[in-house]
Amino acid sequence: MIQLFRFCSGKITSSFPKLSFKVKDFSILKAEKPTALKIDDIKTLLKMHQLGATWKLQDDNSLYKEVKFSNFKEAFSFMTQVAIFSEQINHHPEWENLFNTIKIKLITDDVNNLTVKDIFLAYAIDNIAMNVQVKSAESTNDTRILEIAKIAEAWNFNFDQFHRMIETDSKQI
């Protein structure tokens, strides 16, 4: 069974035809013991949240990405926002910074594999990077932080789209 996390008030259990998904409230994510994802579950989550084009799956147990910004200020703003977000979900990237380039590796050390926290952090990182680049284009002095609620809203939108796609496909079978 794949565990899909969704921001909501309370726990919800839902079964899709042919696939069983357990939907949990992200408020419990911080305290939960990490569970390694199976490779098929990783690929499903990467596809659901359109991460396959931006992240590379390494050795079937970690995600890797390089992000380039137009200058050091953007790169540092990005790292600051990711750090703040990471603290909120109690999960942190392995990364290095060289001027305007950030190299990021995501893995949950406790299980030496990917967990839902890594997938969610990858999704958040993509959203934060896009936000930094857009805000930089609008104003070099804008340092607003993309809130966790906005990332959760987008995550839920992808979840709902995927749910509708599964339901539609099952009706056609």
Q: What is the DSSP letter of 53?
A: T
pLDDT value at 132 more than 90: no
Q: What is the mean pLDDT of the chain?
A: 78
pLDDT at 18 over 50: no
Highest-confidence range of 27-41, 74-88, 147-161, by mean pLDDT? 74-88
Question: Who contacts 173 (Cβ-Cβ below 8 Å, separation ≥6)?
Answer: 17, 18
Instruction: Evaluate whether 55 touches 94 at the Cβ level (below 8 Å).
Output: no
Question: Alpha helices of the chain — where are they, by DSSP H?
Answer: 39-48, 72-89, 116-138, 148-172
Does residue 7 register a pLDDT over 80?
no
**48-65 pLDDT, tens per residue?**
888 888 999 999 899 999
131 and 166 in contact (C-beta within 8 Å)? no
- The residue type of 69 is F
Between 151 and 106, the more confident residue is 106
* Closest residue by Cα to residue 36 from 3, 83, 85, 13: 3
